Amino acid sequence: MSVFKPFLTSDVIVSPFKLNKSFNFFGSELTSSNVGIDRFYGLNNTSSLWVSGSNPTGAITIQDKILIYRSIKELYYSNFLLNSNGSPAATASFNVDGTITGTPYTPNYYNYLSTTLTSSRYFPTGSDDLIGVISIPSNLFGEYLQPGSIVVTSPNLLKIFSDDSNGNLIDNNTLEKVGDVIYEHGLIIFTGPNTPYLSATLSQIIDPLVNIGIQFNSTVTIYETQYKCTIRENEFNFSNNQTQISGSSNSGILYDFATGSFFTPYATTVGLYDNAYNLLAVAKLAQPLPLSAVTDTSILINLDL
């Protein structure tokens, strides 16, 4: 018998699983130091003269409206500027003189699509068009926002906006799409396409002086490690419990019941050690487990990290 027994590779199984946590904030809670949900306008200013910081936006971190517009356009809508279902790929012509002619636009950007289905994204490109962005920090949403969990409420508009699990932001009153949700970046984007409707909506959603409510679920991957402790019929068949020794002087004489051929100890605790025999974790059984003298006994230990 050995006091310590090493694990085999087959005895250790690591299994990932997703955990979700619900959040619900309203009004001034959004900009509090422990939340940090910000709101930004994006402005399509086509003027050739651009001065950094001349169009401030944001309640927590001050950004420029023009840069917000251009960043959102480049990252999430660059494939959808010619068609809401995706711009057509350019076809090139190879000329005999070695030159290549064809449509200069080629939709080859990633754009962080939320589904393998045909996506529909609209982005306003007119002069002075506005978009709205709600930015949720990563310390709240974890790895990504859980699809189907986003709800934005506007008491002033008497409206509720929610996502459809496929990245589309829906006006629950009209059932029309008004924007997109980028789950992995924690972004809720209002784009329209109805420009007058969008302008009225943004004034009651993005303006930091207006109270809105935001509800969502975060997603974090937890890795559960399962250790299979197998005790064979000829192992750990002796107890170290002091109560089986007779005499008050600790003479080392065992009681008769502990020397019989039918005696089997009970397992109550399993310790996990490293290679240097340092105790790392202790697993307590719900009740004492008798060890079999005729068959193997397996104890499964799960650790969530």
Per-domain residue ranges of the chain = 20-219, 232-304
- Alpha carbons within 13 A on the beta-carbon side of 217: 13
Q: What is the DSSP letter of 243?
A: G
Single-letter residue type at 290: P
More confident residue, 232 or 254: 232
Which range of 51-60, 114-123, 128-137, 248-257 scores highest in mean pLDDT? It is 128-137
Q: Pick from 113, 106, 110, 111: which is nearest to 91 by CA?
A: 106
Give the confidence band of 116 by pLDDT, cuts at 50, 70, 90. confident
Tabulate helix, strand, coil % of the chain (nearest 5).
15, 40, 50
Q: What is the mean pLDDT of residues 40-63?
A: 85
Task: Report residue 224 as tokens.
Answer: 């559960």
- Cα dihedral 19, 137, 109, 82, rounded to 10, equals 110
Q: What is the DSSP letter of 142?
A: B
Tokens 């709800």: give the residue. 151
**Cβ proximity of 223 and 12 under 8 Å:** no
Residue-level pLDDT at 2: 47
Question: Rounded CA gap, 147 and 239, in Å?
Answer: 54
Q: Which of 7-11, 139-143, 260-264, 278-282 has the lowest mean pLDDT?
A: 260-264
Q: CA 73, 74, 77, 81 torsion: positive or negative?
A: positive
Convert the pLDDT of each residue in 71-104 to its tens digit. 999 999 999 988 888 887 777 777 888 787 776 6
Which of helix, strand or coil describes residue 56?
strand
- Cα dihedral 109, 111, 115, 121, rounded to 10, equals -110
For a pLDDT cut of 90, what percent of the chain falls above it?
Answer: 55
Task: Write out the H or E segment, with its range, that includes residue 72.
Answer: helix 65-76
Q: State yes or no: pLDDT of 255 exceeds 80.
A: no
- Alpha carbons within 13 A on the beta-carbon side of 265: 17
